[in-house]
Each structure stands twice: as C-alpha cells, then as structure tokens.
Structure 1
C-alpha cells in the first residue's frame, strides 16, 4: 500500500509510521516537523519512507500528494481541549477544514482511516455504555471539530472512523498531558497527586493497540467501510480515582487525594462499549497494568525539566 499520513511525526504517528514501513507499505509523512526531533529517524532506513515538510492545510500539497496514495490517514490536529481553546482558529482549520479538504480530493478506491475521539460523547448517562449509536454531544471545541471532520470522512463513503479512547503509553514523540501518562508521571516523579472530580470516568487504550487498530481497518476496509468504531480497552472503563489505585499498585509510594473543592475544566464523563470493533476480529494486546509498568520504566529515563533550574 501507498500510505499518506498527515501529522505523522506526532505521538501516534511516531509509532504507526514505522509499523507500516516494517510490514512493507510505502509511507509519505506530511508534517511541519516543528518539534525538530528525531521521532522518525528509524523510518529513514526504509526506501519507502518519504518525509514532506509542509502543512496539512496547504491545498497545493494536498493536490499533489492525495492522488498518489491508496490509504489516507489524517493525523494532523491540535489535540486536546485546552490546546484547542487556546488556538480556536488553528483547531478549526486543522482539525476540521484540513480533513474536509483531504476528503474532497480523494476518490476512486482510496481508503481514509480517520482517528477521532470518543470525547465526542461528552457526558454520558450513569451506568450506560456509549455505543456508536449514542448521540454525539461534544462539550469542547476539540470534540466539536473532530466530530465535524468525522462527518466528512463517513459522508464520503470512502472512510472508516476510529473513535479513540484516551491513549497511553511510551512513544518516540511523547505526550505527558494524556491522563494515564500524566498521572503515572506524577506518581513516579512527585509521589503525590491532587485529583479533581475523581468520579469522572473514561476509557483508555495503549498507543500500540491504536496502531493495530489502523492496520485492522486497512486490512478489513471492505467490511468496515462507512462506519465508526470505538477503539478502547473494554477492561478499562475507569474513574480517575480507580486509575490512581491501579497506578499505586505499581508505584507503592504514590499518594493521591481528591480535592474537596474545585473542579476539572475537562468535564468528560462516560463509559464506552468497544463491542462493535471487537466483533470484526480486533482485540487489544496491552492491558492497562502492562502500560503503566511500561510508563514507569520510561519515566525512569525521561525528564520533563526543560523549564526548571535544577
């Protein structure tokens, strides 16, 4: 397959792109490479790897690149509610408009595999699983723009949408702001955490299982085409306090308390069913505990001290 990945040097792309290359696909990555790091250095060993420095909103680049590929994976996005709130114009033009523009240039037998977020479910009903039939009620600009982009992908008739749970795990392009990654980082480095509204629940998924989900959708595209699928760990619909307890199992010195006042600006609260994707033959390889152990090992090496004096 000839695969185009926009934003392929990010958190998910730094895992997914090498896996695609290893299985024999040729991969073009369109990215600004603003981080200036070596996240995709290993990919350069493959003759089928083509990095293109540019913006996913550049129509001239899309006109050139989209027709050359069999599979289109739009990863380029401003990810997370706080970042999108900070840059509303960037969120709208990159998360929504750039995906619409890519879809508009696609055609024929091309496949689009799009990662959206199950944060589109917003605030779920207590004790009731969100399925792909549950109405989307995003409560942030991030969720709104991703849901609108999903509409474009599925409306084209050439797409599959993967509604990702909160992702965790080590990657060459690391993110420390994701909930499991963040809480484990605080456990390892600070030994303590104050939790706001600890009863809020979410679903979680390891980053390598996200990559496995992309491969699954490509390989079973005819079966899955035109549909959205929740992609998460069915064993990990957990509240923030339950997540802290799991982390403490692996970092015994970790102390956490729930704040008696104050609130979390991220109001998402839901549990998610992944039955639809599992019915197609997909299953995760990495459970939450294995992922936490991986993060503990990683944080032994990683230091986030760029702005500290010591």
Structure 2
C-alpha cells in the first residue's frame, strides 16, 4: 500500500535500511527509530526521517507515536548474535523480548494495528527435516532463537486481545547488497560468511576459518540457504498487504542450499581472487543443513527471489565491499 506512513525500528541496520530504501522509493513516508549502536546514519536514503533513540525508552516511543500516525510498524531493532546470546541470555531476553513487546504495546495504544517482525530461522533449532516449512517444530537451541519465539508468542496474544495483526518473517541467511551499490552490509563484529570471505579475499579481514569439514553433506561443510537482502525487503512489503487478511508467519529463503566450500568458490569466481582460509573444529550447535521452504510465502503473496543465484548475491556484496572497504566509515556516529 504505497503512500503510507511507516515506523521502522532498527532501520539504519543491514536489512532494515534496505526496507527503508524500498519504502522511500515507492513514495512512502518513513520514520526510522534507531539508537545507531549497530546501525549507520549513512545507510538511510534522503527522505527518511531519523529519530535517534532506544526502543527501551518508553517516553521516546510515546513521543514518536504521538508525532505521527503510522499505518504499520516494521520491527528490526534487536540483538542477533547466537554465541553472544548463550553467554548473556538475560540481556537477550530483556532487550529482544521486553523491548519488542513494549513497542507492540505502544503501537496498540496509538491505534496502529499492523506489525511486521524481523524473526529468525533460529526458531527451528536442529530441524528434523529439510527444506524447513512453517509446520516444522519450533525448538530453538539458543537464547537468541528463544527470545524471538517469545516475541512471536506475545504477538499472538496481542492479536487475540487487541486485534494487533502481525507478520513474522523467519529469515534464513540474509546476504548481498543493494544492486545499485548505495548501501550494503557493515557489521562489527561481522559473523556472516559471505562478507567474511570477501574481506579475506580483499585483505581487509583475516583469513576465513571454516568450522568443520566432517558434516554429513556432499563436501563435509555446512549447507545454508542464502536470500538476497533486496528480496527480503520485497517480502516485507508483500506481507504488509497480507495483513489485511489476518496475522501470518512465513519462512523466507531461496529454497536452495550452498555449502561453505561452494560459497568460497563463488567469492573466488566473482572476485577473481583466492579466499585465504583454514579449517577449524565444528562450532557447537551448528546444524549440518538449513534450507527454507518458502512455498507458503510464494502462494500467499506472489513473492519469489529475483536475485536468488549465489553468484548474483555474491556479486552485489563484492561490489559493495570493494567500493567501501571501511564500510560506511561512520564509526563515530556523531
């Protein structure tokens, strides 16, 4: 529904900024609520209004909802490192669960009854089958995954009690960058395979560590499903329309799995440089294969990945990182 007014929390972050760009380009008014701890002011396109605040700040939330009448909330602001969540589970519960439900409460009070949550495939833990569809057992094996599941359950209750319609998008592996090169991925610390491999090839990061070579996969390394960040943004726009029919939950991935070795080969093929790497032990809790079934999303919304090929995903990421070796270069965030 173009021409609306939307609140995007965490909209200066990786996936959030690509959604903000898509909203602005189609003519929507966008207000971004971001404390810039992980986000970047330079990731926001002209036309998006930034409110620099923490969603834990109840007064800031009240002021934002008092200042604009929003058609929907897109919620990206969250902690998202699995390993960190196992060391600091209470922090993840406090920031991800409490803050998300406080945001939902503020939306309900303001009469904004459409809510899109950036959720995660970590809800499924070690899946019993692949590809993973929405009927798969929800059994997170990390505090991060469990925090997102608790938010989804809270949104279920908010629907029944207050009519808050929510769409929860369970991402697999977001990857790539805006095809026009305007924005891309810039995390610190970086934990995603593709930017780490590209950084190793460019010499801006240390050699890549491949965790485990003895998995029950064709080449012994983990297999993952990568979905282009621009396609993810498109999925958010499409589920917004789906909320007219009620709350919904969708898995979002390309439907194709690639091994760590295959990703390294793709980076070398696209970049024309070797990826320095070495092999390490398995990481605890890493499933051998995680591949999504996005069939329900395709059937209900007409969504399909337009940039689904691994080389195309890597090509956009390579263009961004080679042109921005220091990322957004706004670390002072002043």
User: Structure 2 length normalisation: TM-score?
Assistant: 0.79
For residues 129-161 of structure 1, give each alpha carbon's deviation from its aligned partner in whole angstroms, at most 9, with x where no partner exists.
Answer: 211110112111111111111222233331011
SS in 1 for 2:7: strand
Aligned residue among 193, 197, 200 for 1:183? 197
For the 8 Å contact 1:188–1:296, the answer to whether it is kept is no
Residue 202, structure 1, aligned to residue 224, structure 2: yes
CA–CA distance in 2 between the matches of 1:105 and 1:36? Answer: 22
Instruction: Provide the residue aligned with 1:22 in structure 2.
Output: 25
CA–CA distance in 1 between the matches of 2:127 and 2:102? Answer: 31
Instruction: Provide the residue aligned with 2:186 in structure 1.
Output: 174
Aligned residue among 268, 276, 292 for 1:272? 292
Matches within 5 A, 1:113-262: 113-125=116-128, 128-157=130-159, 158-170=165-177, 171-172=183-184, 174-175=186-187, 176-189=190-203, 193-198=208-213, 199-223=221-245, 225-234=246-255, 236-254=256-274, 259=279, 262=281
RMSD of aligned residue pairs (Cα, Å): 2.7
For the 8 Å contact 1:116–1:161, the answer to whether it is kept is yes
Judged with a 3 Å threshold, the aligned counterparts in structure 2 of structure 1 residues 187 and 65 are, in CA distance, closer, same or farther, namely same
Instruction: Provide the residue aligned with 1:58 in structure 2.
Output: 57
Q: Which runs of 5+ in 2 are unaligned?
A: 160-164, 178-182, 214-220, 330-334
Q: How many residues align?
A: 298
For the 8 Å contact 1:160–1:221, the answer to whether it is kept is yes
Q: Which portions of structure 1, spanning 4 or more consecutive aligned residues, are displaced by more than 4 angstroms?
A: 255-258
CA–CA distance in 2 between the matches of 1:71 and 1:121? Answer: 27
Aligned residue among 269, 285, 293 for 2:315? 293
SS in 1 for 2:14: coil
Deviation at 1:275, TM superposition (A): 0.7
CA–CA distance in 1 between the matches of 2:275 and 2:52? Answer: 44
Instruction: Provide the residue aligned with 2:305 in structure 1.
Output: 284
Residue 84, structure 1, aligned to residue 105, structure 2: no
CA–CA distance in 2 between the matches of 1:273 and 1:114? Answer: 19
For the 8 Å contact 2:8–2:74, the answer to whether it is kept is yes
Deviation at 1:113, TM superposition (A): 0.7
Deviation at 1:164, TM superposition (A): 0.8
CA–CA distance in 1 between the matches of 2:39 and 2:277? Answer: 38
Deviation at 1:121, TM superposition (A): 1.3
Judged with a 3 Å threshold, the aligned counterparts in structure 2 of structure 1 residues 36 and 4 are, in CA distance, closer, same or farther, namely closer
Deviation at 1:79, TM superposition (A): 1.5
Judged with a 3 Å threshold, the aligned counterparts in structure 2 of structure 1 residues 121 and 187 are, in CA distance, closer, same or farther, namely farther
Residue 97, structure 1, aligned to residue 88, structure 2: no
Judged with a 3 Å threshold, the aligned counterparts in structure 2 of structure 1 residues 136 and 299 are, in CA distance, closer, same or farther, namely same
Tell me whether 173-182 or 273-282 shows the greater mean CA deviation: 173-182
SS in 1 for 2:42: coil
Deviation at 1:65, TM superposition (A): 3.0
Q: Which runs of 5+ in 1 are unaligned?
A: none
